[in-house]
Structure 1
């Protein structure tokens, strides 16, 4: 039986605006807008497929044009979307973001109500897919009940589970519910929110969560990744920062899937993020395993 990764998380359509000059708040700014498919879980799955990792996505969309568009793009990337839930009367999630002149995120609004369809009962219906997975990745857009079900299943069946916290508020949920998983990929702010410590000692902060997560990879933006030591980022001319973190997680999972050492897997993640940053799209279609191996 072919090994594969299952990703559990959100699908949405990304609407992004970037100004032609330094951003001025509370008024209209000349600039450009773009439309692409997003969602943390979906982005990770899309990146994994581009990296040649067989990937199944468990997620939910509405019965609208955005849902059709999102699934078409994801299918074309090579992701197995057979089990994605299509919800009648529901709108597909949208993520509206505004970037500044340096192409960094200023503010975003996430309408992720459709993701509630990814419930514990929905996952129970697809337990066979989950238990046959070589690794499961989940984003913290999921409800607590869903995450609890997933954590318990993976612990019982000894399936490696990676959780991407997504945001500061959602990372607090993981700490509150005492979620347990093999891997966690917080950024610095999410790590602070989970530990209650606002200091520079990343090793000490990670140690606070060691009873919940076996391996904690702290993503540090242009400073790279921290895991027991610092792994520097690759200098990059940034076109669009959206989706770089999702690409990093996918590169990391790609290394784990191929049973590479953790240090090599981290470097694959950093290389994937480097490629993602160079594209105006949330997922860079030029991403490939051969490209990240050569960096």
Structure 2
């Protein structure tokens, strides 16, 4: 903000109902000049709207996928190539949105930037986001387009057997659209990206907002390749083994290979790396620590949301200045909380339940 904008902002903060004329009289400027400064404050995201609602709380921004999740659960052993008796459930999803909802449930103010259609699913996603307090006002809503859909079939152990994603709408997110959100990124505590969004958008954000720390979720092996040439600009990278291999080109067969991958990424400029290993746990590192935590033997009810909860917990730890060792433990506990509910997002997700899980499973 300019000095004059700061003066106006401080006066509005003290009296949100103050008029433009009153502001002008106090500062010795015209009402029209005051209006120009207020317009600039709105554009910069410091004032949220009529009545001078001040944006003063720290927040994080998520740029990524939003979709409707459709999950099929077989009643008995899954038989490929056959019609399986079971149940089908729908829930709100998308990596970016899932991370955002988990963050809200962990008490972190969160803005979500994504692309949706104006169909029944898009409307539902916006309505439900508003109910939980997830800010979606910066999303791009496209008329006549279909919101992304993620269709997954789980096996008898409730682990994913196969999935199909219909996500072409994400390609409609452009660099010009992202440029209009400059003020959102400049005032974010940090920004989380998932690789559902176009590579040119990822590259633009990482190249033009160097004062913002970026967390990256690689989502899938194919999409992880988008990070190959710009991974050095990432603060925290969360990925699994095969996604890491897609970025570094270094095959992982043992723990030494995990170390080599971490060293490669750290040399590129990444500050923190978390490689999720499924049932084996997580391998992680920063510039002072390289360690592995084994996973707890937990039977999942739904495995699709564990990674999103893991990332949200890492963000929570960053915001609260928690060291990397404890961050890894909290993130594992968060993923276990996510695994224990049939929905992609466990409605009982909270830091209290994460701490309780850590205590019960002796994650310490």
Q: Identify the TM-score tier after normalising by the shorter chain.
A: over 0.9
**Aligned with 1:148 (options 203, 209, 213):** 203
Match of 2:353 in 1: 291
Match of 1:49 in 2: 104
| Residue 235 (structure 1) shift | 3.1
| Residue 121 (structure 1) shift | 1.4
Distance 1:263 1:129 in 2: 30
Instruction: Give the number of the structure whose residues are more often helix, by fraction.
Output: 2
| Alignment map for 1:190-205 (pairs within 5 Å) | 190-198=243-251, 199-200=253-254, 201-205=257-261
Distance 1:204 1:73 in 2: 43
| Residue 179 (structure 1) shift | 5.7
SS in 2 for 1:169: helix
Match of 2:149 in 1: 94
Aligned residues: 293
- On the 8 A contact 2:153/2:162 being kept in 1, the answer is yes
SS in 2 for 1:133: coil
Match of 2:291 in 1: 229
User: Is the aligned partner of 1:269 residue 2:331?
Assistant: yes
| Alignment map for 1:120-159 (pairs within 5 Å) | 120-155=175-210, 158-159=211-212
**Which of the two has higher C-alpha Rg?**
2
| Alignment map for 1:50-199 (pairs within 5 Å) | 50-155=105-210, 158-176=211-229, 180-198=233-251, 199=253
Distance 1:49 1:262 in 2: 22
| Residue 212 (structure 1) shift | 4.4
- On the 8 A contact 1:6/1:135 being kept in 2, the answer is yes
Distance 2:346 2:317 in 1: 19
Distance 1:150 1:234 in 2: 37
| Structure of higher RCO (CA pairs closer than 8 Å, 6+ residues apart) | 1
| Residue 117 (structure 1) shift | 2.9
- On the 8 A contact 1:253/1:265 being kept in 2, the answer is no
CA deviation string 1:230-251 (max 9, x = no partner): 1232332210001110011001
CA deviation string 1:198-223 (max 9, x = no partner): 23220101222220422111011222
Match of 1:23 in 2: 78
Show structure 1 runs of 4+ deviating over 6 A.
none
Alpha carbons of structure 1 residues 83 and 105: separation in structure 2 relative to 1, 3 Å: same
Q: Structure 2: 5+ residue runs without aligned partners?
A: 1-55, 285-289, 359-364
| Residue 82 (structure 1) shift | 1.3
Distance 2:333 2:68 in 1: 25
Distance 1:276 1:33 in 2: 19
Q: Give the alignment's TM-score, normalised by structure 2.
A: 0.78
